[in-house]
Amino acid sequence: MKKIPDINILDEKNNLLHKKSVDATFPISEAERKLCHNMIKYLELSQDEKVAEEYDLRAGMGLAFAQVGILKRIFVIANEKEDKSFEEYIIINPQIISMSEEMIFVGEGEGCLSVNREVEGIVPRHARITVSYFDFEGNKQTIRVREDLAVAFQHEIDHLDGILFTDRIDKKNPYKNANKMREI
């Protein structure tokens, strides 16, 4: 039996999710490091169909500290690869430094572990972005991500800015400009 990390994910009704996070300070505490690893483990287990069914988990690819009630600019992503292993990302104080002009959207719609309902509509995202961030040791890093990973990074950075994906869907026309973007 797999042990699911005890992580309390805030629901979209919680006002904390609409507040801007502050930069994390270095050194990153042991508690914050442990939380990052627990969040990644939770995400990886949520993407395992058997475990997700047994524990009634919704699959998630990323989690921001804001979603667990900590307003610091840190998020994690667990991206499952074709061989079922994971690429793990721990991103501290991210900044988007460039983005493609090409826009994309997730065809089946974006989801969020803080939004426990079906949401109609599309979220315009950049197809490729370059992000600068810091690792645990405070070393500056740069990463270029594309497609699904670019969507995940933009989604999590939005959380750090107090924005939910539902805020990015046009309320009057949920599929606005879909014909001007590429579906992924």
In a domain, 1, yes or no: no
Flag whether pLDDT at 2 surpasses 90: no
In a domain, 7, yes or no: no
Q: Which of 117, 111, 116, 34 is nearest to 70 (CA)?
A: 34
Count structural domains, the chain. Answer: 1
For the stretch 116-158, pLDDT in tens is 999 999 999 999 999 999 999 999 999 999 999 999 999 999 9
Flag whether pLDDT at 1 surpasses 70: no
In a domain, 36, yes or no: yes
Q: Which positions ≥6 away from 2 have C-beta within 8 Å?
A: 45, 48, 51
For the stretch 64-87, pLDDT in tens is 999 999 999 999 999 999 999 999
Q: At 38, which CATH number?
A: 3.90.45.10
How many CB atoms sit inside 10 A of residue 163's CB?
Answer: 16
In a domain, 143, yes or no: yes
In a domain, 156, yes or no: yes
In a domain, 50, yes or no: yes
Measured between alpha carbons, how far is 77 from 129 in angstroms, rounded to an integer?
A: 15
Look up the pTM and report it. 0.96
For the stretch 3-47, pLDDT in tens is 889 899 999 999 999 999 999 999 999 999 999 999 999 999 999
32, 44, 110, 156: which one is catalytic? 156
For the stretch 47-57, pLDDT in tens is 999 999 999 99
In a domain, 181, yes or no: no
In a domain, 8, yes or no: no
Phi-psi region of 176 (alpha: psi -120 to 50; beta: other; left: phi over 0): beta
Residue 88 falls in the annotated catalytic set? no
- Domain of residue 148, residue span: 15-175
